[in-house]
Structure formats: C-alpha cells, structure tokens
Amino acid sequence: MTKLRPQFVLFGDSITQLSFENGGWGAALAALYSRQADVILRGYRGYNTSWALLILDKIFPELSSPPDVVTVFFGANDAALPVPDGKHFHVPLPQYKANLHQIVSHIKSNSETTVVVLITPPPLDDEAWIEFRRANYNKQPEALPDRINEVTKLYAQACKEVAKEACVPVIDLWSVFQQTQNWRQAYLIDGLHLSVGGNRIVFNELVNVLNDILFLRADKLPMDFPPFGDIDPKNPGVAFQSWENNSNLAKVNILDW
Amino acid sequence: MTKLRPQFVLFGDSITQLSFENGGWGAALAALYSRQADVILRGYRGYNTSWALLILDKIFPELSSPPDVVTVFFGANDAALPVPDGKHFHVPLPQYKANLHQIVSHIKSNSETTVVVLITPPPLDDEAWIEFRRANYNKQPEALPDRINEVTKLYAQACKEVAKEACVPVIDLWSVFQQTQNWRQAYLIDGLHLSVGGNRIVFNELVNVLNDILFLRADKLPMDFPPFGDIDPKNPGVAFQSWENNSNLAKVNILDW
C-alpha cells in the first residue's frame, strides 16, 4: 500500500489493544477520519514501557515513512506493584519516565513533524480490580492487590512531566476521569479497563488535542478522492482530476508545517 | 510504516465507509485481528464501480506492497435506477459486471496471493428507503423510488457470477439477510444501510470466509510480538528474540502459499 493518507498510530498496552472493541476509542477515531486518515493499531496487552522499548525500532523504523500522529499510552502495567514471584509488570518510576522519554524521542527522531500525544494511565478502582482478579485469576489474598491507585497517580504525574519536558501534548486521563463523581462505575469495567463511557472520554480528549493542531482537524484534512456530490456522472473524470491537483497541494502543506 | 503484519483492505461504498462506526463490521474485524493484521479502510460513500475504477490504481498501485485480503463491496449504488436529471449513481448491469471483473483482476494482477472477497449489495427495504429519502432529502414523488430491491437482486446475482467466473469467494449478503424473516427491521436502519445486527452478519460471514483459508484464521496467524505471558520480566529479550526467529518463518509461509 502506498501512503495515500496521514497515518495515526495508536501505541500502548491493553487499553490500546482493546480500542477497536465495540464503542472503542480507536474505532471511533477511525470512523471520524474514515475518508482522511488511516488509524493503525499497535496495542500490546500486558506490556510496560520497558518491553515497548524492545519493539520500538520495529514499529517505528528509521527509513520508513513516518506516521503523522502517534498516541503513546503506557503506564497501567508499569504502575503494577513489584511482586516476589518475578511474574510482574512493574517498572520503577524513574525508569518509566526515562522509557517514555526514549519512546518520544525515538519517534520524533524519525520525523520532527510527527505529533506525539502522551496519555496517562486511567485511575484504578482498587476494590473492583481486586474483585476482578479474585474472580478471574483465583488469586490468593497475599497477591492482592497488585496495583493501587495511589501508585498509578505517581505514574500519571510522571507521564505529565515527560510531556512537559519533551514539549508534546498530554491527555491527563487520570485526572479527567476523576472529575466525574461516579467515574469508577461510569468509565471502568473491571477497575482497570475502559467501559464504553471511558472509551468515549479518551476519544473526546484526543479529538480536542487534534483539533488544536490545525492541519489535523477532521474538518480540515483533505478527503481522499472527491465526495460523490462533486462527481458529474456524465463526466466523472473532471472531479477526480481536480481532486488530484488540489490534493497534491494539500499534501505539501501537511509535510511543511 | 514498515509492513509488520498482513493487511486487510476494505474497498467499497458507504456500507464500507461506515464500517468503523459503533458496532461496525470493519471495527469488529480490526478488534478480532488486533495483534495480527492491519485493517485499512477504503470506503467511498456514494461511489459505484465506475468511479471505483478511477481510483483503483492509486489504492492498489503496481509497485507497492500488495495487501493480503481485499473485500470488494460495491453494487448498492450501481443498482440505483437511471434518472433523467443526470445526477445518478446508476451503472448498467453489464457494465457493473465488467467493472467488478476489472477490479478483481487489477488487484490479483499485483499479487496472485491476495485473497479477494466479493460481497453482494444487501437487499433493499423499498418502503423504508422511500420514507428515508422523503424525510431527509425532501424528494418529490416522481423521484421516488430511486432504488428497488428487485433490481438490486440482479446486481447481487451479477456479483455472484463474477465471483464464480473469477474463482474468488463471495458473500451473498442479499440472500443471507433475507433468510431472517424480519431482516428489514433487524439488519437495516434506513432501508439501505446496516444496523448493528446487519454489521454483525457481514462480520460473521467474512470471518467464515477467512476461516476457510487456513493461514488467515485469527487463531493461526502469528501475533506481532510475544504475548506478555511468554515474557520473563527478568530477561525479556529472550522472548522477543525467540518470537523474531519464529515470526520470520511464519512470514515466509504467508508469502509462499
């Protein structure tokens, strides 16, 4: 496939991997940009930022056509508590911060114009998550909890700091969710993963960020190929030729900003 | 982006363009293959096969990496009745058939291994579609109807004939929908476009086709990068190296069949 459209890559853990499920924020983004951008899913269930580093140059190789937007949405696993059995997702806080910096700078090093949007982990509903793990993984009490919201908060803060230091936009999901009183029931399904309502919040926040960047607005990006209303059935070639001429100009603009 | 995974391209009209809306068949496919394939949306609202021909070599250029699966889902607009004002979508039946053949052979000419799946237009609910056009476009009675199911039936049959002649799989949506007694209410929203239930049927039928092709089964295609359960947190590189070795073998298999 030749690159016909801008590419938006969603890079993250399970909350990204699940984003094309019913009501998911990734699918909603693909629907909004259905004629304008390709939304590429790179979500890896259970991954933390240290493992993300191991696949970074394969997903974003140097010589390839760089994506136009990348969401980087890690931290829910990094924030897991360290456990003695070695089967853990935990990444120490300073390491998480350094890893995020490395992810952002790697993506930016391929293309300065790539817009990187950091997303903090959502807040954890401690009790619901314990209940989910007890019911689904038959965990013994000593293995519970494996995550607590007070720790996730620190990772969300670190993510915001990285965004500030690297001068990239950030969606502070940890705070946004908690602005709604019943966020636990409204936005989460198991204490950690997103409900349809939670997905809608991520989508809305991401659209807000993209709307701030003029050329990425869904109502500004050029469509690929003319809308059917512009096509004269008796002489359809005219609309396509005209689209091609304008589209080339639009592409130059996108590359230049 | 380097091609890390097989690519599934959804090529069609509005029923494809809308397939990432809530409950859409495209989003469901992307969710099912979230770690295995990229689902690329190429849906063009209002397009018929004659206009599709005008963009064919841009979407599927000769020298580019060919997709692994392409759904070709046109006919709902081709089957529109010819109207005197010239603003119509109508494509004569023999031309529709010739156009579909050209689309299939163009895609196949780039890569013999690309799996092309034809999908017939869904049946039309004549009365609901008239009502929708009256309510939304304020059409005068003489402009109604612009489509009737008895004509759409002929286009669905032609689509099946093309599939047979070109030896590619086909989903006979026109017939499948009508196997359910209340198909009009269950599968359509405005007489023409798909409800969540209709989207689910397209998804199920497509998964059935893909399941018949061993290497495209969601439970057979290799994941990109190891599942987190295979990763030893104390030595994560081992799992990634092992994945890379196996993955290269898997890729050769995909290219060879």
Q: Are residues A18 and A85 in the same domain?
A: yes
Cis peptide before A145 (omega within 30 of 0): yes
Least CB–CB distance from B59: residue in A4, A40, A61 = A4
Please report whether residue A74 resides in a domain. yes
Least CB–CB distance from A1: residue in B47, B51, B64 = B64
- Nearest C-alpha neighbor of A57 from the set B2, B247, B236: B2
Predicted confidence (pLDDT) at residue B98 exceeds the cutoff of 80: yes
B44 neighbourhood in chain A, CB within 8 Å: 35, 225, 228
Q: Are residues B163 and B149 in the same domain?
A: yes
Residue range B106-131, pLDDT digits in tens:
999 988 899 999 999 999 999 999 99
Return the residue of B nearest to A91 by Cα.
B233
Please report whether residue A1 resides in a domain. no
Please report whether residue A2 resides in a domain. no
User: Is the Cβ pair B34, A47 closer than 8 Å?
Assistant: no
Average pLDDT, chain A: 91
Q: Are residues B127 and B232 in the same domain?
A: no
User: What 3-state class would DSSP assign to A249?
Assistant: helix
Q: Are residues B91 and B13 in the same domain?
A: yes
Which of A14, A34, A195, A247 is catalytic? The answer is A14
Please report whether residue A135 resides in a domain. yes
Active site residue A105: no
Return the residue of B nearest to A56 by Cα.
B225
Domain count, chain A: 2
Residue range A87-97, pLDDT digits in tens:
689 999 999 99
Q: Are residues A51 and A77 in the same domain?
A: yes
CA triplet B22, B51, B97: central angle to 5 degrees?
95
Predicted confidence (pLDDT) at residue B87 exceeds the cutoff of 90: no
Average pLDDT, chain B: 91
B107's CB contacts (< 8 A; 6+ apart) are B60, B66, B67, B70, B72, B114, B116
Q: Are residues A155 and A59 in the same domain?
A: yes
Number of neighbouring beta carbons within 10 Å of residue B131: 14
Q: Are residues B138 and B31 in the same domain?
A: yes
The strand ranges marked E within A99-245 are 115-119, 170-171
User: Is the Cβ pair A20, B43 closer than 8 Å?
Assistant: no
Q: Are residues B168 and B145 in the same domain?
A: yes
User: Is the Cβ pair A89, B228 closer than 8 Å?
Assistant: yes
Report the range of poorest mean pLDDT among A60-64, A105-109, A225-229.
A60-64
Residue range B38-65, pLDDT digits in tens:
999 999 999 999 999 999 999 998 866 8
What residues of B are labeled active site? 14
Please report whether residue A102 resides in a domain. yes
**Burial group, residue A94, by CB count within 10 angstroms (0-12, 13-18, 19+):** exposed
Predicted confidence (pLDDT) at residue B254 exceeds the cutoff of 80: no
User: Is the Cβ pair A20, B34 closer than 8 Å?
Assistant: yes
CB A238 within 8 A of CB A230: no
What is the rounded CA–CA span in Å between residue A75 and residue A93?
10
Report the range of poorest mean pLDDT among A193-197, A198-202, A227-231.
A227-231
Average pLDDT over residues A45-58: 96
Q: Nearest-CA distance from A7 to chain B in Å?
A: 9
Residue range A1-35, pLDDT digits in tens:
456 799 999 999 999 999 999 899 999 999 999 99
Q: Are residues B147 and B173 in the same domain?
A: yes
Please report whether residue A146 resides in a domain. yes
Task: Give the containing element (helix H, strand E) for A10.
Answer: strand A7-12
| CATH at A200 | 3.40.50.1110
Q: Are residues A204 and A232 in the same domain?
A: no
Predicted confidence (pLDDT) at residue B224 exceeds the cutoff of 70: yes
Q: Are residues A189 and A239 in the same domain?
A: no
Report the range of poorest mean pLDDT among A1-5, A96-100, B33-37, B90-94.
A1-5
Q: Nearest-CA distance from B168 to chain A in Å?
A: 21
Q: Are residues A36 and A53 in the same domain?
A: yes
Please report whether residue A141 resides in a domain. yes
Work out the percent of chain B whose per-residue pLDDT is above 90.
74
Q: Nearest-CA distance from A150 to chain B in Å?
A: 23
User: Is the Cβ pair B46, A22 closer than 8 Å?
Assistant: no
Predicted confidence (pLDDT) at residue A155 exceeds the cutoff of 70: yes
Please report whether residue B2 resides in a domain. no
Instruction: Determine the structural domain holding residue B114 and report its residue range.
Output: 7-221
Most confident of A241-250, B81-90, B245-254: B81-90
Interface predicted TM-score of the whole assembly (ipTM), two decimals: 0.93
